[in-house]
Structure 1
Amino acid sequence: MGEMNIASTSRGNAHATMEDVAKLAGVSLKSVSRVINAEPHVSAKLRAKVEAAIAELNYVPDTAARSLAGSRAFIVGLLFDNPSPNYTMNIQKGVYETCRDQQHHLRIDNIDSTVPAEKFEAQLAAMVRNSRCDGFVLTPPLTDNVVLLDFLDRSGIRYVRIAPDIQPDRSPGVCIDDAAAAAAAARHLWELGHRRFAVVRGPASHGAAGRRRQGFIDELHRLGAENPIIEAEGNFSFESGIAAGAKVLAATPRPTAIFAANDDSAAGVMVACSQAGLKVPNDVSVCGFDDSWVAKSVWPYLTTVYQPIEEMGRAAAALLLRRDEPDNVLHELDFSLVVRASTAPPPQ
């Protein structure tokens, strides 16, 4: 895939130089370089002086020259293998914003992790050979792909993972508590009076999908659910939601509440309800996960779990660009349950 030229989006003064910035700020050229390159241990006073001079001159750093001057490429790689367009779009937006703020380019690659390991490694080698990056932001399910992680570690390439499931201390990462978020959805449906439930799962390779399923089911059991919980395989896509919805609605007795592991598949479930002659939420309540644009493009509007996808992208890129080595810890962000019109008490 191509690169986004961050610098080209700014209306910089083509005649201003780093020397002009240094002169206006009354500091050395080295000090200007340290601020522009986001190096650690720069005082707030120095940073403020340099940034004020940059703003006054409308100076845009030359990322190509910066790359030649040192070992950094000033390019962040973002890797996808995810069927949800909403998720990829929002992660991309968050990572891009951090790149823009820190004067970096963004390179986006979509790689197929379902191919045999040997072919997958060949893809990775070609990608690294053809694009020099300072590191990669990994999104699920690549987050938990051991072949990819081993390849990056062997190559000495830094990476930050979003929502990792395996070996959480292997790299820096950002996440939410998916199990607790799905448990909140389960409590909401239970408190409305539902006692017959179904779950539309996400891809087996997606660790967060498994945590959501388990969190939802565990919470129902804790609340005292006695009826079997019907399950169907989903793939985080609208089409898979239609197929899974048709399957769970064919069960006897029919569930009165369906939890889908993301909004795309929840929207598909709502279509399956319509095809079966059922109304949402009069006959069946439907709950999703993500609070994407999809949640308010269906009718009735979708009850769902909000996860800060853009913020996760911003935070992951910021961790990657830290010059001091970040600890290999997970940074957990907040979630919330957004109640809309797709859930209601069950029919009597």
Structure 2
Amino acid sequence: MARRRQAVTIRHVAADADVSLQTVSRVINNEPYVRPEMKLRVQASIDRLGYVPSIAAQRMSGSRSYLILAINDRERTIADWRARQGTDWVDQMLLGGMLMCAEHGYRMIFELVDTHSDHVERELLGAIAALQPDGIILTPPHSDNQQIVAFLAEQGIPFVRIGSHENGAGIPLSMDDEGSARTATRYLIARGHARVGFIAGSPEYNLSGWRIDGWKAAMAEAGLPTDNLLEQGDFSYAAGERAARLLLRHANRPTAIIASNDQMALATLEVARALGLDVPGDLSVISFDNTPLVHFTQPPLTAIDQPIAATASKAVELIIAACKGEDRPVTLTMISADLVERGSVAVCAEPVDG
């Protein structure tokens, strides 16, 4: 029977590199005050011996667990997965978060928690007790949930609140939703659209209000009215359909619509077709998110590309910095989004008569 290969330990690495165990530990944990040449020497031994750091050993050697817990809303996430409609918030979050974790010797664990559960604190406490994470990433709407925020603040664990502007507990991190909505609106106004409709997201999310603010600000700076141009949605296809019908049934209908996510933008396309409107000839459409779906619609959708991966990556950076005792940012950290141009926007040749 083949002999079991002896596991390579930190002692083997230290002996091979002819350095102390403490030096190897500092290199593995990416700690400061290690000379570059020493870091290269230790890394060469790690690569030559095939050493893989043990999270259990790291936990025993210090107070860190080298785990970061990312929490998403259970109900909405499961609904998206079951619908299999191409939403990729979780994929992008894991992409950015896991790659940044790997750079620093961390691992990311992903958990689903109910926002409205009476047992939310028990759920969180169970996850924290089992995983002992060094930090936690909250995503909307958890980042806006005062019960969750207050509970985590009591635990003394660093946590980042994605989609939050509040400078209280936790570290706020924003994708500049207001600025993105302003960009999309200005883009349409520059192409001659004076009546730009807006389908808002769920009021449960603070970012929904910020997007409305950005749209209103861009319309106001151009001297354009917003009366009868705003409809409430909830990020679902059905809500987008209802909102689009309400906007497009007006005699003085909008010549362009911004939808607060891809599902509601897809619904807007279908409503436009049902009403005999050509996109983009009769109606221009811009979406938020830029999930894979919008590449394959007819026409492909112009969209605000939400920087989810970059935001998750930054969240990991902020948590690791907090674990090292570094001061938290004194101003709100903002990750800007881009507008991706495709075929759903046209120049408005002439206004629609009411």
Shorter-normalised TM range: 0.7 to 0.9
Specify the code of the residue in structure 2 equivalent to 1:52: A
Superposed displacement of residue 216, structure 1 = 1.1
Residue 139 of structure 2: aligned partner:
139
Q: Deviations over 1:127-151 (max 9, x none)?
A: 3334322221111121121111110
Specify the code of the residue in structure 1 equivalent to 2:106: H
* Contact kept? 2:192, 2:349, Cα under 8 Å: no
- In the alignment, structure 2 segments of 5+ residues that lack a partner are 81-86
Residue 9 of structure 1: aligned partner:
none
Residue 64 of structure 2: aligned partner:
72
Residue 289 of structure 1: aligned partner:
288
**What SS is found at the alignment partner of 2:119?**
helix
State the alpha-carbon separation in 2 of the partners of residues 328 and 169 from structure 1. Answer: 12
Superposed displacement of residue 227, structure 1 = 5.5
Superposed displacement of residue 229, structure 1 = 4.6
Q: Deviations over 1:45-98 (max 9, x none)?
A: 333332232223332111122223332222211011255632222112211212
Q: Deviations over 1:129-185 (max 9, x none)?
A: 3432222111112112111111011111221122213x2353334323222221111
Superposed displacement of residue 296, structure 1 = 1.0
The structure 1 residue matched to 2:34, chosen from 39, 42, 45, is 42
Distance 1:208 1:23, change over 3 A: same
Distance 1:40 1:239, change over 3 A: farther
Alignment identity in percent?
A: 31
| Runs ≥4 residues deviating over 6 A | none
May I ask how many residue pairs the two structures share in their alignment?
A: 333
- Of the structure 1 ranges 275-284 and 238-247, higher mean CA displacement relative to structure 2 is found in 238-247
Residue 4 of structure 1: aligned partner:
none
- Of the structure 1 ranges 218-227 and 168-177, higher mean CA displacement relative to structure 2 is found in 168-177
**What SS is found at the alignment partner of 1:45?**
helix
Q: Deviations over 1:249-294 (max 9, x none)?
A: 2233221100112223222221222232222111110001233323
**What SS is found at the alignment partner of 1:305?**
strand
Superposed displacement of residue 23, structure 1 = 2.7
* Contact kept? 1:199, 1:229, Cα under 8 Å: no
Distance 1:14 1:61, change over 3 A: farther
* Contact kept? 1:177, 1:332, Cα under 8 Å: yes
- Of the structure 1 ranges 168-177 and 52-61, higher mean CA displacement relative to structure 2 is found in 168-177
State the alpha-carbon separation in 2 of the partners of residues 170 and 265 from structure 1. Answer: 33
The structure 1 residue matched to 2:114, chosen from 112, 115, 119, is 112
State the alpha-carbon separation in 2 of the partners of residues 90 and 39 from structure 1. Answer: 28
The structure 2 residue matched to 1:60, chosen from 15, 32, 52, is 52
**What SS is found at the alignment partner of 2:88?**
helix
Specify the code of the residue in structure 2 equivalent to 1:131: L
Residue 148 of structure 1: aligned partner:
148
**What SS is found at the alignment partner of 1:109?**
strand
* Contact kept? 2:138, 2:159, Cα under 8 Å: yes
- In the alignment, structure 1 segments of 5+ residues that lack a partner are 1-12
* Contact kept? 1:280, 1:286, Cα under 8 Å: yes
State the alpha-carbon separation in 2 of the partners of residues 246 and 51 from structure 1. Answer: 61
